[in-house]
Amino acid sequence: MNINIDVISKNPLFEKVSYSNLTSMFACLNLRHEDCKKGSYIFLEGQKVDYVGVVQKGKLAAVKDTYQGNRSIFEEYSPSEMFGGAFACAKLDKSPISVLALTDSEVLLFDYKRIITTCSNACVFHSKLIENMLKILADDVLNLNDKLHVLSNRTTRDKLLAYFELQREIFDSNTFSIPLNREQLADFLFVDRSAMSRELSKMRDEGLIEFDKNNIELLI
């Protein structure tokens, strides 16, 4: 099994877990490694999720597809980032979203019950894992609140400005690079891509923003 400890150790789930414990904990957590081709699904909407995933390589996205062929992107996951935790914690019978590989990717899947339940070996890292898991879930709630704030705006322009203002806070700079291309940003904001592109051009002409591909400068 090909495991990149340096990547995995950067995930908040393993914060303050020693390197020696990281290398010995995988059997305890029933670790599985999966290779995912671009366009394949790690899990589908409607499936039960009972594991926590960590991206080892590539990029994933939490998506929801409609019968009309439209797709909404809720979140993207890069190397060392976690997915599936909220659904496993909630013990949902059916996941409300799918997780899709945007590129050829590698993921590590951990049994959620093994994370939150102390095993018979009384592994010393388990209490820290539980503490870290609770913090991650709390952070997920805050991130969801941020997205709801962005999406609560009624117009495409207001959604864009709210999203850019959020990125300015995250990067603590008026200049930043967003992790989404035009199509993905439109899906994230639940807006039409062509209309969004026109609005971006208008905002640039009015001196509100400057942009070059994914690089944005907020001028207000």
Alpha-helical (H) ranges within the chain are: 5-8, 19-24, 85-90, 112-116, 126-151, 156-171, 182-189, 193-205
pLDDT over threshold 60, residue 212: yes
Whether residue 146 lies inside any domain: the answer is no
Q: Which tokens go with 103?
A: 């590129």
* Cβ neighbours, 10 Å, residue 11: 20
**Residues 142-176: pLDDT tens digits?**
787 888 899 899 999 999 999 999 999 989 999 99
Q: What domain count does the chain have?
A: 2
Q: What's the CATH number where 75 sits?
A: 2.60.120.10
Rounded-to-integer distance, Cα 122 and Cα 117, Å: 10
Bridge partners for 218 per DSSP: 209
> What pLDDT does residue 122 have?
55
Q: Average pLDDT for residues 9-14, to the nearest whole number?
A: 91
Q: Which of 84, 104, 139 is the last residue of a domain?
A: 139
Rounded-to-integer distance, Cα 147 and Cα 209, Å: 21
Q: What's the whole-model pTM score?
A: 0.72
Q: Which of 113, 139, 165 is the last residue of a domain?
A: 139
> What pLDDT does residue 68 have?
75
Q: Both 89 and 185 in a single domain?
A: no
Q: What's the CATH number where 183 sits?
A: 1.10.10.10
Whether residue 209 lies inside any domain: the answer is yes
Tell me which residue range forms the domain holding 176: 153-218
pLDDT over threshold 60, residue 112: yes
